[in-house]
């Protein structure tokens, strides 16, 4: 990372990268104009990042459309979204599909990767928006 701040090795960071999301990192060494990091992610997260980078790289070259699995429908109703720590966010549903939904909120959005509940449905935050976030529903077979 390019930074005017030099961070000592082993410093931990949470990075929010456009188009990629939230990634936990650890500083491994200083550089001339910043520092180098190692990503602290699970194998599943590595696979998701690799898939996303491949899609982003090929998007323009191959003329790929958005990777959403199901059509989205505009919505506008209120929704209560419960975060992992139990806080409840009052949101407005932006759009909804069979596989996920997007919400607007006035407060801070949940982090990418955070599990949230909307009614009896569980979802994983997959992207942040200007004033909100989008989730992918988690099938009951994936919940533990």
CATH code of the domain covering residue 114: 2.40.10.220
What letter does residue 83 receive in the DSSP assignment?
Answer: -
> Residues near 22 by Cβ (< 8 Å), separated by ≥ 6?
14, 15, 16, 111, 112, 113
> Residues near 107 by Cβ (< 8 Å), separated by ≥ 6?
89
Which residues in 1-144 belong to E strands, given as ranges?
Answer: 12-17, 21-31, 34-39, 73-74, 78-82, 88-96, 100-105, 115-118, 121-129, 132-137
Where in the sequence is the domain holding 87, given as residue range(s)?
Answer: 73-142
What was the pLDDT predicted at 58? 74
Name the more confident of 135 and 21.
Answer: 135
Q: How many domains does the chain have?
A: 2
Residues 51 and 88 placed together within one structural domain of the fold: no
Residues 111 and 92 placed together within one structural domain of the fold: yes
Q: What is the pLDDT of residues 36-93, one digit of tens each?
A: 999 998 888 888 888 778 777 777 666 655 555 556 667 778 999 999 999 999 999 9
The answer to the question of residue 2 being in a domain is no
Task: For residues 44 and 35, give the distance between their C-alpha atoms in angstroms, rounded to a whole number.
Answer: 26
Residues 79 and 133 placed together within one structural domain of the fold: yes
Compute the mean pLDDT over every residue in the chain, rounded to the nearest whole number: 84
What count of other Cβ atoms lies within 10 Å of the Cβ of residue 26?
A: 14
């Amino acid at each position: 990372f390019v930074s005017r701040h030099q961070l000592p090795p082993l410093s931990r960071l949470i990075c929010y990268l456009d188009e990629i999301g939230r990634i936990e990192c650890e500083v491994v060494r200083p550089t001339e104009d910043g520092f180098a990091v190692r990503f602290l992610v699970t194998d599943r997260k590595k696979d998701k990042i690799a898939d996303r980078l491949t899609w982003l790289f090929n998007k323009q070259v191959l003329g790929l459309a958005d990777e959403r699995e199901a059509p989205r429908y505009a919505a506008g109703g209120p929704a209560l979204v419960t975060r992992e720590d139990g806080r409840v966010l009052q949101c407005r549903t932006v759009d909804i599909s069979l596989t996920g939904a997007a919400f607007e909120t006035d407060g801070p959005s949940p982090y990418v990767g955070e599990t949230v509940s909307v009614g009896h449905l569980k979802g994983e935050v997959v992207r942040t928006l200007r004033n909100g976030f989008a989730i992918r529903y988690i099938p009951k077979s994936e919940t533990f």
